[in-house]
Structure 1
Amino acid sequence: MKLFITGIGTEIGKTVCSAVLVQYFKADYWKPVQSGDLHYTDSHKLEAWTDSTKCYPETCRLKLAASPHQSARAENVQINLDDFQLPETDRPLIVEGAGGLMVPLSDNSFMIDLIEKLNLPAGLVVRDYLGCINHSLLSIMALRQRNIKLEYLILNGSFPEDTERVICGFIGKETKIIRIPEVESTDKKYIKAAAKQLTITKL
């Protein structure tokens, strides 16, 4: 099992959800692009939050906490899709993107292009906020347009019934739904508890 974790936006819990999934699937972890926070990267967090996780080195490590294309430009480097190669592992692998599908890696390549290049199915993280239905449906449409399989719709936290019904009603029957409970704290104890409470269902 190899899965690319993306989201409907920024700061919706992709890293926490990735940690819960790493714990649940007993998976390795890879963050292809890290923009900013090099002193405490998402890989560092996964190592702290989960049991015996192997984290593969980032392909791009950028100092500025901004969109990858802006961070790369600030360092006078170019992000090239050909530079990215999946780590070789016999274990399950969780790959975590930066931001949403249309986050630019350069002026003419986007996160969705990286998913396509790596030839991975996607797990789309959704969190409840005003506008999440619109962002969710647009993200699902973008994946569908590129023929990228949406393996999992990942519902992070609780949702109003009307919101969940519309979002879940838009996915295909091949997509499974993962429900991750609200994680009280980014502590290994709470990540492990969330992994135990995680549920996977189909429509």
Structure 2
Amino acid sequence: MQAHPIIVTGTDTGIGKTVFAAALTGALHAHYWKPVQAGIEDDGTDAERVARLAGMPREQVLPEAYSLATPCSPHLAAEIDGIAIDPARLALPDVAGPLVVEGAGGVLVPISRSETYADQFARWQAPAVLVARTTLGTINHSLLSIEALRARGVPILGVAFVGEPVEDSEATICAMGKVRRLGRLPVLDPLTPKSLRAAFSENFRLEDFTA
């Protein structure tokens, strides 16, 4: 298996990006890194949630470069904490094997008053998976996100959908955006490491993420 970093980004917040990142991390037996954590949910940080859902050793989850108190956009959360996010601290970690890196919210979420996550992705020059929901509005959000990534020269590995099947929306996004359709992760109830592992295996091809 070829070792390389993969960026997991999304079209919006709350669309299942962290769940997909957990599935991908587990399937690749990868390290996981969320550079900036802003706020802590009832079930812990995204890193803690990924570790549980991926069923991975905690040492494969790398510590955040910034852990911010307020659950809002990282640029504002940092200002509230009285700090500035330094892009130099966001350099990709050097690890053995695959690395899954998760952004926050959508591709144009700001990390400072002058830069977005997409600008940071451009520095990394790692392939990005765009996670998109399948509900109404996803075509617009997805195509705008694809344009924003391409405008910055970020390589796009493809789109991973989350939600109930909506064939026309999924096909239209990938055809008009000229991106690969990687698969669709259904909404899982219950959401467990076992159900997530099975859903990823049934709906995605591992070789699409390792070639």
Structure 1 residue runs of 5 or longer lacking an equivalent are: none
Alpha-carbon displacement from aligned partner over 1:54-95 (angstroms, at most 9, x marks no partner): 100000100000111111111110012122121111211110
Alpha-carbon displacement from aligned partner over 1:117-154 (angstroms, at most 9, x marks no partner): 22211100011222111000000111111111111211
Contact 1:81–1:117 (CA under 8 A) maintained in structure 2: no
Query: d(CA) in 1 for partners of 2:182 and 2:197?
Result: 19
Shift of 1:38: 7.2
TM-score by length of 2: 0.88
Among 187, 191, 195, the alignment partner of 2:196 is 191
Among 106, 112, 119, the alignment partner of 2:118 is 112
Is 1:88 equivalent to 2:91 in the alignment?
no
Is 1:172 equivalent to 2:175 in the alignment?
no
Query: d(CA) in 1 for partners of 2:6 and 2:85?
Result: 22
In the superposition, relative to structure 1, how do residues 176 and 161 fare at CA in structure 2: closer, same or farther (>3 Å)?
closer
The one-letter amino acid paired with 1:65 is: P
In the superposition, relative to structure 1, how do residues 146 and 26 fare at CA in structure 2: closer, same or farther (>3 Å)?
same
> Could you tell me which residue of structure 1 aligns to residue 26 of structure 2?
23
> Could you tell me which residue of structure 1 aligns to residue 148 of structure 2?
142
Contact 1:180–1:197 (CA under 8 A) maintained in structure 2: no
The one-letter amino acid paired with 2:14 is: E
| Paired residues, number | 201
Query: d(CA) in 2 for partners of 1:104 and 1:185?
Result: 33
Kindly, what percent of the aligned residue pairs are identical? Answer: 36
Query: d(CA) in 1 for partners of 2:104 and 2:112?
Result: 13
What is the CA RMSD across the aligned residues, in angstroms? Answer: 1.9
TM-score by length of 1: 0.92
Among 15, 28, 43, the alignment partner of 1:12 is 15
Structure 1 range deviating more: 58-67 or 33-42 = 33-42
The one-letter amino acid paired with 2:142 is: S
Query: d(CA) in 1 for partners of 2:191 and 2:48?
Result: 12
Among 124, 146, 163, the alignment partner of 2:130 is 124
Higher strand share: 1
Among 56, 61, 64, the alignment partner of 2:67 is 61
Query: d(CA) in 1 for partners of 2:203 and 2:99?
Result: 18
Structure 2 residue runs of 5 or longer lacking an equivalent are: none
Contact 2:18–2:102 (CA under 8 A) maintained in structure 1: yes
Query: d(CA) in 1 for partners of 2:204 and 2:28?
Result: 12
The one-letter amino acid paired with 2:204 is: T
Contact 1:6–1:99 (CA under 8 A) maintained in structure 2: yes
